[in-house]
Structure 1
Amino acid sequence: MGIIKVENIRVFAHHGCLEEETKIGSEYRVDLQIKANLKTSSKTDNLVDTVDYVFLNRIIKEEMALPSKLLETVSKRILDRIFDENIQVKKATVWVSKINPPIGGDVEKVTIKMTDKRKK
């Protein structure tokens, strides 16, 4: 088993419960960690034998582009797509952070962290 991390993916998106958030949009940071069997790919040196981080980045960008009220919803969609589209992923954790959230204080970011495992 091995770990692949894709870190500090920066996207501009339109999530939030306030109408202004969905109209104006804001900056987000997404981090992802997946667990998969990397033994085969370490021997074959073939991209098809691993989890392509370009694939992971694409899913994150596509799901972040779909507006949601809650970051929990976006996080769950990201995890669901990863498991639906790549059989090699056994476990995944995603962190979705809203930079400078409009919560009436000097807050750098708020982060939602969700983890899921492949159902057998």
Structure 2
Amino acid sequence: MGVIRLHNMTFYGYHGISAAEQKTGRRFEVDCELFVDIDKAAKSDKLGDTIDYTKVYNLVEDIIQKNRFALLETIAVRLANILLKNFKIKEVLVRVRKKIPPIPGNLDHIEVEIRRKR
């Protein structure tokens, strides 16, 4: 088994509890770790025998940019479930970060992580 990682995919979205977040939006970052059998692809050297990274990126982008969610937890679970549904992966780890969250104080981001298995 191997791991395919897409790190720091960055999108602009309108997710959050406050009206301000929903109106003005924020920058979000997503990491996906896809646990897959890479032996067939390693032998054949063909894209059809592995996970197409572009399709993963596009799916994540669609979820982040075409929907509105109140919670990071909801985004993370939706992403994990749809990745398991659409790709031949055994396990997925998803991290969703909200950059510069609306919290008093000095804070770079809030992050939610979820791991799901088939």
**Which residue pairs with 1:13 in the alignment?**
13
Q: How does 1:74-113 map to 2 (within 5 A)?
A: 74-86=75-87, 88-113=88-113
Displacement of 1:78: 0.7
Q: Matched residue of 2:43: which SS? A: helix
Displacement of 1:84: 1.0
Displacement of 1:55: 1.3
Q: How does 1:53-92 map to 2 (within 5 A)?
A: 53-65=53-65, 66-86=67-87, 88-92=88-92
TM-score (norm 1): 0.95
Q: Which runs of 5+ in 1 are unaligned?
A: none
Q: Matched residue of 1:84: which SS? A: helix
Cα RMSD over matched residues? Answer: 0.7
Distance in 2 between the 1:90 and 1:58 partners?
Answer: 20
Distance in 2 between the 1:73 and 1:6 partners?
Answer: 20
Q: Matched residue of 1:61: which SS? A: helix
Q: Which runs of 5+ in 2 are unaligned?
A: none
Distance in 2 between the 1:58 and 1:75 partners?
Answer: 16
Displacement of 1:107: 0.5
Q: List, as ranges, runs of 4+ consecutive aligned residues in structure 1 with deviation greater than 3 Å.
A: none
Quick one: which amino acid aligns to residue 42 of structure 2?
S
